[in-house]
Amino acid sequence: MKNISEMKFKSDITIIGAGVVGLAIAAQLAHRDRVVFVLEKNERFGQETSSRHSGVIHSGIYYPAGSLKAKLCVEGNRLLYELCGKRGIGHKKLGKLIVAATDAETGQLQELKAKGQGNGATGLKLISRSELKEMEPNVEGVAALLSPSTGIIDSHALMEHFAARAKDGGAEIAYRKKVVGLEKVSAGYKVAVEENDKGKFSFDTRILINCAGLQCDKVAELAGIDIDRAGYRLHYCKGEYFTVGGGKNRLVKRLIYPVPEVKGTGLGVHVTLDLEGRMRLGPNTQYVDSIDYAVDSRHKDSFYKSAKRMLPFIEYADLEPEMAGIRPKLQGPGEDVKDFVIRDESDKGLPGLINLIGIESPGLTSSPAIARYVARLVENIFR
């Protein structure tokens, strides 16, 4: 196969970004009679948001009815469990409890149950305080909503799987290649690429898929889109995590979440467990202007206070700053929740450009369903 640095080369499909979404799409689209490139500016895949998250396979409870987030999360949940089972990708269907701390919050549990069922989330069940005590003796609350299809996944292994499938299908994943320019040409797009220390080159592609995560709005702008008019300008929203030490990880069996705030920007500081059984709290939500993954240790107090309500066994000394991720949000501070944008931009005079904008949570869960959705858009363009 020809190498991407051979400058006269043309590709059928170029995907910008090797996060979990770009890789899932590459795995879905790669086949021998098509030239598919993935361009990634970093040294390896999954170095940004796709490795800075809770690693939860969501069930689809929270998202507005009929939204892409709801549909793709529910489909992605089913597809991920199938895939993990078939390919031996590390995962655990632990189940999750959304815990009401007060009687006033129990009404919200009923609303969440109805919303989740409407979206197609399976097995949701309201449970009483005594049932909660039986299931999770160390968790404090007056009632809870059980989501048995929520789980956790080894997202690195998932990305490895997608990358291997893409390569098996003939796709090339090219690292240290930053897309710095896009120009509409008669048969598609001219893509200008900056290679670390090696200068620039460009090539033509028929279809261009923008999966650039935190930079997706800038990439859309490179293609000539007025991102303010289109509503594509991202707001960065940081989420920090604290680990819980002191041997406390064995005291809960499931993922434990509070009732989310109305119009919230996140799901509330919650307890997640990883596949090794380590416990952590997070993520909080803070709008930020730039990408900086440092955890502010002064936030320990607020983590401690939020967690202590549900988990009385946690002591201040158990918490240590761990890591942070940044959500690529379309929802600005105080605004309503916004859906994923996944669209072919023909109506902006840019046929064959597929933008994926605002792929925040549940983007990891949705990744195989997003890939199928994008594949349908691509087939319509080729038709």
Ligand X SMILES: Cc1cc2nc3c(=O)[nH]c(=O)nc-3n(C[C@H](O)[C@H](O)[C@H](O)COP(=O)(O)OP(=O)(O)OC[C@H]3O[C@@H](n4cnc5c(N)ncnc54)[C@H](O)[C@@H]3O)c2cc1C
Rule CB under 6 A: which of 224-243 touch ligand X?
239
Residue 42 in the binding site for ligand X (CB under 6 A): yes
Nearest to residue 171, comparing CAs of 49, 58, 60, 36? 36
Measure CA of the first residue to CA of the last residue in the chain; give whole Å. 25
Q: Which is nearer to ligand X, 143 or 269 (CB)?
A: 269
Distance (Å, whole) CA 189 – CA 341: 21
Q: 283 near 240, Cβ under 8 Å?
A: yes
Q: Which two tokens stand for residue 383?
A: 């038709």
Residue 27 in the binding site for ligand X (CB under 6 A): no
Residue 172 in the binding site for ligand X (CB under 6 A): no
Rule CB under 6 A: which of 76-115 touch ligand X?
none
Distance (Å, whole) CA 223 – CA 209: 11
Q: Which is nearer to ligand X, 131 or 194 (CB)?
A: 194
Q: Which stretch binds ligand X (CB under 6 A): 27-35, 87-95, 130-138, 214-222?
A: 214-222
The pattern of x and - marking residues 176 through 195 that bind ligand X according to CB under 6 A reads --xx----------------
From the list 58, 161, 206, 235, which residue makes contact with ligand X (rule: CB under 6 A)?
A: 58
Nearest to residue 361, comparing CAs of 16, 72, 26, 3? 72
| Backbone torsions φ then ψ of 172, nearest 5 degrees | -110, 130
Q: Which is nearer to ligand X, 54 or 306 (CB)?
A: 54
- Point out which residues pair with 44 in neighbouring strands: none
Q: Which residue has its beta carbon closest to ligand X?
A: 363
Q: Which stretch binds ligand X (CB under 6 A): 4-12, 45-53, 134-142, 371-379?
A: 45-53
From the list 50, 249, 284, 306, which residue makes contact with ligand X (rule: CB under 6 A)?
A: 50
Q: Which stretch binds ligand X (CB under 6 A): 55-63, 103-111, 142-150, 373-381?
A: 55-63
Distance (Å, whole) CA 197 – CA 209: 25
CB of 284 to ligand X, least distance (A): 9
Q: Which stretch binds ligand X (CB under 6 A): 90-98, 142-150, 205-213, 343-351?
A: 205-213
- Point out which residues pair with 288 in neighbouring strands: 236
Residue 212 in the binding site for ligand X (CB under 6 A): yes
Q: Which residues contact 195 (CB under 8 A, 6 or more apart)?
A: 5, 176, 177, 178, 201
Task: Provide the residue type at 347 as one letter.
Answer: D
Distance (Å, whole) CA 265 – CA 330: 11
From the list 4, 16, 84, 357, which residue makes contact with ligand X (rule: CB under 6 A)?
A: 16
Q: Which two tokens stand for residue 232?
A: 């594509």
Distance (Å, whole) CA 219 – CA 196: 18
Q: Which stretch binds ligand X (CB under 6 A): 40-48, 104-112, 199-207, 255-263?
A: 40-48
Residue 344 in the binding site for ligand X (CB under 6 A): no
Name the site residues for ligand X (rule: CB under 6 A): 16-22, 39-42, 47-50, 52-56, 58, 178-179, 211-215, 219, 239, 283, 325-327, 359-365
